[in-house]
Structures are given as structure tokens and as C-alpha cells.
Amino acid sequence: MAQDHAALPTKPTAITPTPVRGGIDFQLNGEHYHHTGDPAMPLLWYLRDVLQLDGTKYSGEHGEGGADLVLVNGKATSAIDTPMSKLDGKKITTVEGLVDAKGNLHPLQQAFIDEDAIGCGYCTPGWLIASMDLLNRSKDPSDNDIDTLPNLCRCGCQTRVRQAIKRAAAAMKQGAKA
């Protein structure tokens, strides 16, 4: 009776490397994160629902109002308009990440306190992020620069935010000299 050779193992062919793992790698407030969930999920819901890191607020469906701003590679970006898929390899800073490693306030945060640039406080994280972006681009922002901030506030903290940004810029210059 002839033996059936078909069941015998065949000779291995060349190995095709497959990715070890999928997902999206990024840095958030200095820590490494890996997201394997829905790549279309907006960053805002990842922060708020998945991580329960709630400093970044919901503002509007496409980020109008600016309360959902975060820094992506130093640039103010709407967290609700940014899907996780766009964050691979990126560095993200939320309002919680503005303090230094020892927990000291950034001069901008201190300036917001000193100028009492806070109404109900809900939109404040967004103002801080937009102001950080501005200070990253300009050491000495003019009134016209400050006018370009996209944030909205119903409590009317705008004049105090303006003062806070100027105060922070001055404090950062002082700090750089020292």
C-alpha cells in the first residue's frame, strides 16, 4: 500500500517578518504610552475616557472654543479633532504636564494665578495651552500676537489672560538671565 506523503512537513520557505505589535506609540507628559484601540478615536476621548486625565475639556465638536487644546510637538492642537492615528511618535503635553518634574508651576501657570486670570476655570486649561504655544513661538508676544489666540471664554477672563501672558513672558526672560 502506497504511503501518503502529503502529510509530511514541507521544507520551510523564507520567513516574512510580521510586525511584533500594532498600535500607536507616543509620549504623554513625558511618559511613554501605547494605544492599541480604535485608531480613529479622538485624542480628547482617549485622555478623558481611557486615561481619565480630565484637565483637557470638551469645548465643541470640532474644537471651536479651544478648551480641548493640547500641545502636540509643542504646537497647540485640538484634541477632539486629532485622531489617535496621527499621534504615532508624537510628544503630547496636556495641562497636567505643564508643571516641571518636581511639580513646580510653569511661570505661565503662576502668572495665571497672580493675574487671577480665571473665571469658572473650565476654559483655563485651553488658554494655558494656547498661551504656551504662543510663548514657544515668541519670547515677547505683542498685543497683536495675543489677539490671535483662538480661545473663547464666557466668564470674561480675556483681559486678565492678556496680562498673564505678558507677566509670564517677563518672568521667563528674568529666569533665562538668572
Partner 1 sequence: MSGTVRLSRRRFLQVLAGTAGALIVGIRSARADAPVPPDMLGDPLYDFGMFIRVDADGTILIGSRDPETGTGVATALARIMADEMDADWQRVRVLPLGLGVANDNGRPRWLYGEQAGGTGNSMPRAWHDLRSAGALARWLLIQAAVPQLGVPPEKLRTGQGAVIAPDGRRIGYGQLAAAASKIALPHGDITLKTPDRYSLIGKPAGDAQARAIVTGQTEYALDKHFGDTLVAVLAHCPWTDGELAGLDSTAALAIKGVVKVIELKPDPHLPPGETVIAPAVAVIADSTWIALQGRRALKLQWKPGASGSESSAALEQQATALLNSDAAPTTRIRDDGDIDKAKRKAARRLEATYYQPWLAHATSEPMNCLVRLDKTSATLYVPTQSPQQAWTVVQRLTGLAPDQIDIRVPRVGGGYGRRLDHDYVAEAVLLAKEVDKPLRLFWTRDEDLTHDYYRSGCVHKFDAIIEAKRHVLAWNQRVASASALVGRGVPVDHLWSSEVSANQFPAGFVPNYRSDWFGLSSSMPRGPHRGMPHLTNAFAVCSFVDEIAHALKEDPLVTHLRLIGEPRLIPQQGGGAVDTARLINVLKLVTDRIGWKDWLHSVNGFGLACWYMDGAYVAHAIEVSMQGEKLTIERAVCAVDVGRVINPLGLEGQVAGATLDALSTALNLAITVKDGKVQQTSWKDYPLASMAQLPHTVEVITVPGEGEPTGASFLAMPTAAPALANAVFRVSAVRVRRLPLMKELLRLL
> Which CB, 25 or 147, lies closer to partner 1?
147
Minimum CB separation of residue 42 from partner 1 in Å reads 7
38 binds partner 1 (CB under 8 A): yes
State yes or no: residue 122 binds partner 1 (CB under 8 A): yes
Which residue do the cell numbers 465638536 mark?
61
61: DSSP letter? T
Q: Give the 3-state secondary structure of residue 30.
A: coil
Residue written as grid cell 465643541: 60
Q: Considering only residues 124 through 153, tell me which ones interact with partner 1, judged by CB under 8 A.
A: 124-125, 128, 143, 146-153
What is the rounded CA–CA span in Å between residue 98 and residue 139? 17
Q: Give least dist CB 40 to partner 1, A.
A: 9
**10/148 with CB nearer partner 1:** 148
Question: Which of 121, 136, 138, 170 touches partner 1 by CB under 8 A?
Answer: 121
Please state, in angstroms and rounded to a whole number, the distance separating the CA atoms of residues 55 and 68. Answer: 9
Q: Give the β-pairing of 91-93 and 24-28.
A: parallel
Q: Does 24 bind partner 1 (CB under 8 A)?
A: no
Indicate which single residue of 25, 159, 170, 174 sits in contact with partner 1 (rule: CB under 8 A): 159
Residues from 49 through 68 that contact partner 1 (CB under 8 A): 49-50, 52-62, 64-65, 67
- Do 164 and 112 touch, CB atoms closer than 8 A? yes
For residues 108 and 170, is the Cβ–Cβ distance under 8 A?
no
Are 172 and 107 contacting, i.e. CB atoms less than 8 angstroms apart? yes
**Binding-site ranges for partner 1 (CB under 8 A):** 38, 41-42, 45, 48-50, 52-62, 64-65, 67, 94-96, 98-99, 105, 109, 112-114, 116, 118-125, 128, 143, 146-163
